[in-house]
Amino acid sequence: MAAPAAGDGRVLAPFGRRRGAVVANEPSGGYRILTAVDEGGPMPAAGQFYMLAAERGWGGDGERPFLPRAFSVAEATGDAAGVRLAFLLEDVGPGTERLAALGEGEGLLLTGPLGRPFAMPDELNPQAAGAILVGGGIGLAPLAIWRRTLAARGVPERSLLGFRDREHRGGLELFRCSEVRLASEDGHAGHRGYVTDLLEGMLAGDSAATAVVYACGPPAMLETVRAICERRGVAAELAMESPMACGYGACFGCAVPLRDGGYMRLCVDGPVVRAADVATALVAGAGHR
């Protein structure tokens, strides 16, 4: 299970696609938590993702879905059987519909772990006193595994999670901590409004000089986080989405504009990016509403 690591902390994926076995697929509010055992794969780092497809009922004869779909790992634990991977899914189309219907024992084809993970707070800000995690909707998935990683390393962290409404809410059990503040657009839980309102309030009460923010969510939310952090001079990383056909740098479908000109391929240079490096988090064709 030992895996090679790239200089940037990435765990490198073995060549080829592996077959994992689904061990659970349970509803979690409006989402589902899909768990599979990856027998031969390495332990992923928080922020990395996998390209997933069902072994059966995926494409063929021109039917959709054809290409695999990208999913952030939300939880990973290792034992003698392999690495147990949990993914938080929102059913938005043919690929997620098929994955959401997978039963215990069925095959899950996976390529990964892929991409650049989150960096520790002191790598982003030498004065860092802790981390503020900001999640929107299904975007809480990579923050759940990151929160546990930070806690295991003794880094103080606070989490702010926002949801549109009850139907677009789930995965809270993946957080397993008390330091979570909620926001909802319809007011069904926590602050009525956006999760970025909570971030503004928290940063106003903190010393910006010691804050580090990690965010994942829909593009409009990420763009607001990016703008808030830029205005306050707070170091931040964003776990972004863009349309990914391959996941490993070959198709250029996932290009995201850089602040200083040019583009990055989000699948290899991200999906976690420094907020100060990107021109905008409003990426066309990406992200759940």
Ligand X SMILES: Cc1cc2nc3c(=O)[nH]c(=O)nc-3n(C[C@H](O)[C@H](O)[C@H](O)COP(=O)(O)OP(=O)(O)OC[C@H]3O[C@@H](n4cnc5c(N)ncnc54)[C@H](O)[C@@H]3O)c2cc1C
Point out which residues bind ligand X (CB under 6 A).
49, 65, 69-72, 87-90, 92-96, 138, 141, 241-244, 271, 286-288
E strand or H helix at 221, and its extent?
A: helix 219-232
Quote the least distance from Cβ 222 to ligand FES, whole Å.
18
Pick what 286 binds: ligand FES, ligand X, none; C-beta below 5 to 8 Å, kind-dependent: ligand X
State how beta strands 107-114 and 49-54 pair: antiparallel
By CB under 6 A, what part of segment 250-279 binds ligand FES? 250-254, 265, 267
Q: Which residue among 193, 201, 233, 249 contacts ligand FES (CB under 6 A)?
A: 249
Q: Which is nearer to ligand FES, 64 or 188 (CB)?
A: 64
**Is 174 an interacting residue with respect to ligand FES (CB under 6 A)?**
no
| Binding piece for ligand FES, criterion CB under 6 A, among 28-36, 71-79, 185-193, 244-252 | 244-252
- In sequence order, the 6+-apart residues with CB closer than 8 A to the CB of 45 are 9, 10, 11, 113, 117, 118
Quote the least distance from Cβ 8 to ligand X, whole Å.
16
Pick what 247 binds: ligand X, ligand FES, none; C-beta below 5 to 8 Å, kind-dependent: ligand FES
Contact 51, 65 (CB under 8 A): no
Q: Dihedral of CA 91/96/101/102: which sign?
A: negative
Contact 257, 277 (CB under 8 A): no
Smallest Cα–Cα separation from 224: which of 199, 261, 258, 202?
A: 199
